């Protein structure tokens, strides 16, 4: 299945989503030689790297360009270059979905998560005391986990504690919406608007 949605979040921020129905070989055959990315998987197994190939084919479909490059810094944060022009980029995947968000001017963070009962078993690793007071359902817990993943990518540096440095404030989940979060680390003490929506049994969160 090709791209299922391209959303212009703002005049400068775009989000593309692909639902995977193809095989890894299908994606490999679609990948052009104008893409440069040193993180390309080399393991030939079918279940290894399919999300990497799907996301890079998605990227090719989002940009009709002769040169596409992804470079990662020492914190593994990617930067996109389209014909040498710099873009901020965030990439996420979960099971059958991959997503890419990009912007010329904004730091961004994107995350995709499948809603699953297993979130209850790990909730104590990322929910702080305030969040535990209202986060009871697997949907809310998954949204908070996904939001913190998006904030982590937006921040772009390591050593963020998911319980101590990030917090989601109380909200009632809808099919789509916005809730407030806080990121506090060293010199940063910032309220972040977390955008989200649900699709099938997945949640998509992003911030900028």
pTM equals 0.95
Structural domain of 7: 3-106
How do residues 39-75 score in pLDDT, each as one tens digit?
988 887 877 899 999 999 999 999 999 999 999 999 9
Total tally of structural domains belonging to the chain = 2
Domain co-membership, 121 together with 158: yes
Domain boundary among 106, 137, 170: 106
Among 28-32, 84-88, 191-195, name the one with the lowest average pLDDT.
28-32
Neighbours of 7 (CB within 10 A): 14
Q: Return the CATH number at 27.
A: 3.90.470.20
Q: Tell me the residue ranges of DSSP E strands in 40-124.
A: 68-72, 78-82, 85-94, 97-103, 109-114
Q: What is the pLDDT of residue 89?
A: 98
In this prediction, residues 115-143 reach a mean pLDDT of 97
Q: Which of 84, 106, 128 is a domain's end point?
A: 106
Lowest mean pLDDT segment, chosen from 41-45, 82-86, 159-163: 41-45
Give the per-residue pLDDT at 109: 98
Residues 123 and 186 in one domain: yes
pLDDT at 1 over 80: no
Region 118-125: mean pLDDT is: 97
Q: Residues 20, 95: one domain?
A: yes
Residue range 21-39: mean pLDDT, rounded: 92
**155: pLDDT strictly greater than 80:** yes
- Considering the domain architecture, whether residues 120 and 89 belong to the same structural domain is answered as no
Do 64 and 123 lie in one domain? The reply is no
> How many other β-carbons are positioned within 10 Å of the β-carbon of residue 168?
26
């Amino acid at each position: 299945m090709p791209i299922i949605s391209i959303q212009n979040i703002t005049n400068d921020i775009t989000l593309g989503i692909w639902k995977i129905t193809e095989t890894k070989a299908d994606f490999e055959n679609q990948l052009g030689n104008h893409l440069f990315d040193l993180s390309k998987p080399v393991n030939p197994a079918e279940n290894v790297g399919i999300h990497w190939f799907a996301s890079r084919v998605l990227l090719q479909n989002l940009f009709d360009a002769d040169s596409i490059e992804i470079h990662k810094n020492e914190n593994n944060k990617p930067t996109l270059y389209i014909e040498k022009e710099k873009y901020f980029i965030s990439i996420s995947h979960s099971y059958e979905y991959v997503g890419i968000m990009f912007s010329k001017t904004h730091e961004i963070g994107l995350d995709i998560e499948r809603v699953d009962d297993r979130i209850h078993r790990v909730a104590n690793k990322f929910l702080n005391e305030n969040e535990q007071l209202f986060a009871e359902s697997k949907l809310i817990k998954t949204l908070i986990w996904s939001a913190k993943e998006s904030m982590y990518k937006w921040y772009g540096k390591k050593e963020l504690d998911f319980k101590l440095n990030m917090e989601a404030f109380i909200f009632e989940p809808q099919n789509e919406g916005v809730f407030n979060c806080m990121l506090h680390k060293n010199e940063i003490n910032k309220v972040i608007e977390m955008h989200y929506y649900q699709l099938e049994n997945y949640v998509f969160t992003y911030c900028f």
